[in-house]
Amino acid sequence: MAKICIYGAGSIGCYIGGRLLAGGSDVNFVARERVDNMLRTHGLTLSQFGERRWSVPPARIDASTDRAAAAAADLVLVTVKSAATPTVAVELSSVLRADTIVVSFQNGIGNADVLRAALPRNTVLEGVVPFNVVERGPGAFHQGSAGELEIRRAPGMQPFAGDFEKAGLPLVQHVDMLPVQWAKLLLNLNNAINALSNRPLKEELAQRAYRLCLGMAQKEALALLARAGIEPARLTAIPPAWMPRVLAIPDAWFARLGRAMLTIDPLARSSMSDDLAAGRATEIDWINGEVVKLARRVGRRAPVNERLCELVRQAERSDVRPSWTGDALLAELRAATSGSR
C-alpha cells in the first residue's frame, strides 16, 4: 500500500489526512508539537456540511514532529501556511526519495514553484482545496463549505487517485492549474473582508455592503488578469467575470441566485478570521497580496486589494479585534480608489 504523508498538519492537513485514513489509506502526519500531541491524545473526529461524520482513534494515528517521518512517503501533501514554504522546501529536500510525489495544497499562486526549486528530483504539483475547514475542538475538524480537490494532472498521481476516491475526496485533474489557482484566489479575496467583519461567512455574505466590497476586489483582480492574459477557470455555477455583478444584486435576490455561495455552515469563518482570532500571522500576502504583485508586473496598481492588505496587517498588530460594518468598509475601499486616481 502506498504511504501518504501530510506535511504541516493544520486544519486542512488534519482534515484531508483524516479522511484518507478513514478511507483505509496508509497516512502519517508531520506536525508541530501542539498538533502532534493533540492527534496522539484525541485522534480525529471529522464532519462535513450536511452532518456526515468520520472518526479515527488515537491508536490509528501515526504522527511525528520529525521531518524524517516523510522519508518513507510515496506522496507528500504540503499543507503548511504559505510563509513556511521555503523552510519546508529545505526540510523536505534532505529526506525525500527522488520518486516521491509532492503536492502543494496551499493558498496563493507560487508555492509549488518554491517547492520545485528545492526539490528538482521530485515531481511537484499544484493543488487547490476549495472548501473551508474549521477546528471545532481538540482533534475535531469540520468542512464548512462545498467543493472538490483540484490538482495538476500528472502520470505519477494516478496510483493515488483511488485513495482519494475511497476517502470521498475525488481529485479533479487539470493540465494547467494557473487558471484554477486564480479562480480559487478570486473567491478567497473574501477572506480579508470576512476577517475584518468579524462575522461568520454566511452572515457576512448575506449583506450587500460586504458583497460590494468583495465585488470591488474581484473586479480589480479580473481587470489585471485580463491585462496579463490569464483567464480564470470556472469553478462555480457563476462565471468569474459575472461575480462582481451577481454580488451587487439586492439581498433577497442574492439569497436565491447566490444560493451556492451561501451553502456554508452557519458558524464557519474564513481561515484568515481564525488566524486573527488566534493572534497568528495571516496569509494576506498570498491572497490579496497576489493581486498587488500582479498589478506591479503589468504596470498598474490595485488600490482596493492594497487597502485590504493594509487593514489586515493593522489588525494583526492590534490588541483589539476590528469588527468593520459593511458600510464602513465599503466607504474605506471607495476612498482608496478615489485617492489612487
Length of the chain: 341
Q: What is the predicted pLDDT for the residue at 269?
A: 87
Residue 263 in this model has a pLDDT that exceeds 80: no
% of the chain at pLDDT higher than 70: 97
Interval 93-131: pLDDT, tens: 999 999 999 999 999 999 999 999 999 999 999 999 988
**How distant, in Å, are the alpha carbons of 56, 60, 116, 207, 310 from that of 45?**
6, 12, 33, 32, 37
**How distant, in Å, are the alpha carbons of 34, 116, 148, 165, 272 from that of 168?**
28, 28, 9, 5, 26
CA distance 221 to 295: 8
Q: What is the predicted pLDDT for the residue at 106?
A: 96
User: Which range, 124-138, 204-218, 259-273, is most confident?
Assistant: 204-218
Q: What is the predicted pLDDT for the residue at 145?
A: 81
Interval 307-316: pLDDT, tens: 999 999 999 9
Q: Are 215 and 333 a contacting pair, CB within 8 Å?
A: no
CA distance 268 to 276: 14
Q: Nearest 10 degrees: CA dihedral of 184, 187, 191, 197? A: -170
Backbone CA torsion sign across 300, 304, 307, 312: negative
- The one-letter amino acid code at 223 reads A
Task: Give Cβ neighbours of residue 258 (< 8 Å, ≥ 6 apart).
Answer: 205, 238, 246, 247, 249
Mean model confidence pLDDT for the chain: 94
Q: What is the predicted pLDDT for the residue at 153?
A: 96
CA distance 201 to 261: 10
- Find residue 145's DSSP bridge partners: 264
Interval 48-97: pLDDT, tens: 876 789 999 999 999 999 999 999 999 999 999 999 999 999 999 999 99
Q: Are 202 and 264 a contacting pair, CB within 8 Å?
A: yes
Q: What is the predicted pLDDT for the residue at 134?
A: 85
Residue 328 in this model has a pLDDT that exceeds 90: yes
Residue 260 in this model has a pLDDT that exceeds 70: no
pLDDT: is 18 or 50 the higher one? 18
Residue 132 in this model has a pLDDT that exceeds 90: no
The SS3 assignment for 175 reads: coil
pTM: 0.92
CA distance 300 to 297: 8
Residue 264 in this model has a pLDDT that exceeds 80: no
Interval 168-216: pLDDT, tens: 999 999 999 999 999 999 999 999 999 999 999 989 999 999 999 999 9
What residue has cell string 492594497? 306
Domains, the chain, ordered by start: 3-175 (3.40.50.720), 179-339 (1.10.1040.10)
Q: What is the predicted pLDDT for the residue at 265?
A: 72
Residue 29 in this model has a pLDDT that exceeds 70: yes
What residue has cell string 464602513? 328
Task: Give Cβ neighbours of residue 86 (< 8 Å, ≥ 6 apart).
Answer: 114, 118
Q: What is the predicted pLDDT for the residue at 193?
A: 98
Q: What is the predicted pLDDT for the residue at 49?
A: 77
Q: Nearest 10 degrees: CA dihedral of 118, 122, 123, 124? A: -30
CA distance 210 to 216: 10
The SS3 assignment for 187 reads: helix
% of the chain at pLDDT higher than 90: 85
CA distance 135 to 163: 24
Q: What is the predicted pLDDT for the residue at 77?
A: 98
Query: Which H or E element spans position 278?
Result: helix 271-278
**Strand ranges (DSSP E) for 113-229?**
123-128, 133-137, 140-143, 149-152, 171-174
Residue 341 in this model has a pLDDT that exceeds 60: no
Q: What is the predicted pLDDT for the residue at 74?
A: 97
Q: What is the predicted pLDDT for the residue at 259?
A: 63
- Find residue 29's DSSP bridge partners: 6, 63
What residue has cell string 502532534? 36
pLDDT: is 213 or 132 the higher one? 213
